[in-house]
Amino acid sequence: MSFKVSGSLAEQIAGHLQDRIIRLEIKPGERIRELSVSEELEVSRSPVREALRILEKYRMVEIVPRRGAVVTGLTPEFIRDLYDVLMELLGYTARKCTGNATQEDLAIIDEAAQRILACSKKLDIYGYYQAVIEFGLSCIRAAGNRLAEQIISELLPSIRRIMYRSFATMGDNLIADAEIIIAGNRYVQERNGEMAEKTLRDYISKLQSYV
């Protein structure tokens, strides 16, 4: 990932580091040194320090006295708990999405689903991961519940980590995974809330087996 400065500098740096953590370019337990990051990105240490505080808020790093920022691990208990929460939140939004989505929303959701299928056929794990996240976020936005959207956005950094980790272990099963999402998209397009929710719950259960 190339680093480009736009918007809030600290947020851009946090996004850059988050992407590297998700892709395991910076591994759990590894220190992130302010000076190294500032030299690499050619920025001052102040926005780097602020970026690390943003990552700490999202449980990506822990600020340890005399050690600095250390990338957090993902324990089996945390992953299980996060998937349990996701099961309920996304099941709810799947139902709401089928009732509240506009035709424009449905078109955006369908476009993301087609990208998922295309990336799965190329075994493009990173592209697949990005498309799945966009598909999910598009459904959440279409559901129209701003509180649910806010809660999910706060969990999103951790969600991104475990989902990328799941996809990276799938290998040829990526196509079978995509077919479940395509089925879910069909139910969303048909506004079949019951089947959209069931497919989502089945999908979350399946993802858990890959972590």
Question: What is the domain partition of the chain in residue ranges?
Answer: 9-71, 76-208
Q: Which residues pair with 70 in a beta bridge?
A: 31, 62
Closest CA to 170 of 114, 125, 204: 125
Query: What does the alpha-carbon distance between residue 138 and residue 97 come to, in Å, rounded to a whole number?
Result: 9
Q: What is the average per-residue pLDDT within 102-126?
A: 96
Q: Which two tokens stand for residue 208?
A: 């858990």
Q: Which CATH superfamily is domain 76-208 in?
A: GntR ligand-binding domain-like (1.20.120.530)
9-71 classified as CATH 1.10.10.10: yes
Residue 1 has pLDDT above 60, yes or no: no
The chain-wide mean pLDDT, for the chain, equals: 92
Residue 200 has pLDDT above 80, yes or no: yes
Rounded to two decimals, the pTM is 0.86
Q: What is the average per-residue pLDDT within 175-195?
A: 96
Amino acid at 25: E
Q: What is the average per-residue pLDDT within 67-89?
A: 91
Residue 34 has pLDDT above 60, yes or no: yes
